Amino acid sequence: MARPVQDRAQAILAAAREQFLLEGAEHATVDAVAARAGVGKGTVFLYWPTKARLYGAVVQLETATLLARLSDELRTGITYLSVGHVVRREIAAVLEIPGLAPQKPGEPDAAADAENFPGLALHRIISIMQAHSLVRDRPTTEIVTAFKTVMSGSAIVAVKDLDRREIVLDAAEHLIRSAYDRPDADPADVAAALPEVLDALEDTIDLLVEAAAPDRPTTAVLRPRERPAVAGT
């Protein structure tokens, strides 16, 4: 009996993740992914017409998982809401999946097709933080560009030399914190901004999942976890 459509899509994505982590995006083949998933090569192409699209879907789902973890850590207080803390946390998270991280400058970001991620999401989050006086009065585009540059550059350096991981993380956090976080931020303002930031993160997770599996009945299942309820509802 053939697998339901939803199960096949999940099996392909799970197999693709393992294959890309094992061999890297350049060397992994759709034939190997199909064999690992237990489906025909044509079935893979039915869902994702090119290897690049399939790789993009895997990276989008991995990014959604990282953002879900960040959202949960912000919600529970494990990670403090500041630009410096967040950039450190996200670099550390990317280093947990080095096979899917950029390996050299200029390497394309496979998650970028999801509503211009991470630019759009970062613009929204930085704007929220600025509205609550948590970030210095600098152009939002400048802060977003600095965040992306420091994050991608640090990940490239650290993935090639994991022994320097903590030094890289310390440097990245210090650079962003000293340049953009307000040292006099009021904890009450942090608390006021947090629900809006969490909502922005959850919206971004939805966009990434939808972009990874467009027009397929997989979105609810592929989401990293159920969207947390808004406090007070």
Residue 7's Cα: distance from chain center in Å? 24
> Residue 119: its pLDDT value, please?
64
Tokens describing residue 102:
């950029």
Please provide the distance, in angstroms rounded to a whole number, between the alpha carbons at the two ends of the chain: 43
Whether 8 maps to a domain, the answer reads: no
Whether 140 maps to a domain, the answer reads: yes
For residue 197, give the H/E element and its range: helix 187-212
Give me the numbers of helices (H) and strands (E) for the chain, helices first please. 10, 0
Quick one: DSSP state of residue 29? -
**Number of domains composing the chain:** 1
Domain extent for 158: 77-102+110-211
Give the SS3 label for residue 166: helix
Q: How far is CA 224 from CA 52, 94, 203, in A?
A: 22, 16, 13
Burial of 227 (0-12, 13-18, 19+ CB in 10 A): middle
Give the SS3 label for residue 48: coil
> Residue 223: its pLDDT value, please?
86
- List beta partners, residue 135: 181
Whether 197 maps to a domain, the answer reads: yes
Whether 54 maps to a domain, the answer reads: no
Question: What angle do helix axes 119-131 and 187-212 make, rounded to 10 degrees?
Answer: 160
> Distance (Å, rounded) from C-alpha 79 to C-alpha 65?
16
Give the SS3 label for residue 72: helix
Quick one: DSSP state of residue 181? B
> Distance (Å, rounded) from C-alpha 143 to C-alpha 193?
18
Whether 167 maps to a domain, the answer reads: yes
Per-residue tens of pLDDT for the chain, all 233 residues: 455 555 788 889 999 999 998 888 888 999 999 999 999 999 999 889 999 899 988 988 888 898 999 999 999 999 999 999 999 988 888 887 766 555 544 444 444 443 445 567 889 999 999 999 999 999 999 998 999 889 888 888 887 787 888 999 999 999 999 999 999 999 999 999 999 999 999 999 988 888 887 666 555 678 888 888 765 54
Tokens describing residue 88:
């450190």
Whether 165 maps to a domain, the answer reads: yes
Whether 49 maps to a domain, the answer reads: no
Whether 27 maps to a domain, the answer reads: no
